[in-house]
Structure 1
Amino acid sequence: MSFASPAVTIGRAFTDTFAGIAPGSVAPFRAAQLTGGAVTLGLTAAFFGRPVGAGDASERRDPRLAHGRL
C-alpha cells in the first residue's frame, strides 16, 4: 500500500483500521518517503539537467555577458 502524502502517513497512524499504520512505523515510513523523493530528484536532475534560463539575469539576456566576453 502506498501513502504518497506525508500528511496521510501521519493521519493513518491515528486510525485503528486495517489500512492504518502502527505509530512506531511512522518514522521509518517517512524516512523511506524522503529517500524516495531524494532519489527521484537526483534522477530527474541527471536525466533532464538544469532548465534553460535558470541562471542569473545577465545569462538570460546574453550568455557571453556572464563570462566577461562580449
Structure 2
Amino acid sequence: MDDADCRGLTRNKWREHAFEFAFRCWWPVEPDVGRVAHGVSSRVDRLKCLGNAVVPQQVYPILKAIADIETGRTEAVG
C-alpha cells in the first residue's frame, strides 16, 4: 500500500485520517463463516480424541532421528 503510515499527509489531513480510524469499527459485520458443524454428531468429542491421539511414544522416533542427524550420530543407510 502506498503511504500506509500517512507520512505524506499534511497535519490537518492526518488528523482527519486519524479521527476516521479512531471511530471506525474495523469489522462492522462478522464474516459469514460457519462456526458450528450442523449434522456432525459428537464433533467436540471427536476433535478431543484427535488432539489426544498423538502421544509422546509416537513422536519419539521422529524427534530422535532429527536429533541424531543434527548431532552427527547417524549410521550410513544402504
Shared fold per TM-score greater than 0.5: no
Compare CA radii of gyration and give the structure with the larger one: 2
Richer in helix (by share):
1
Q: So what's the TM-score if we normalise by structure 1?
A: 0.32
**Structure with more contact order per residue of length (Cα contacts < 8 Å, sep ≥ 6):** 1
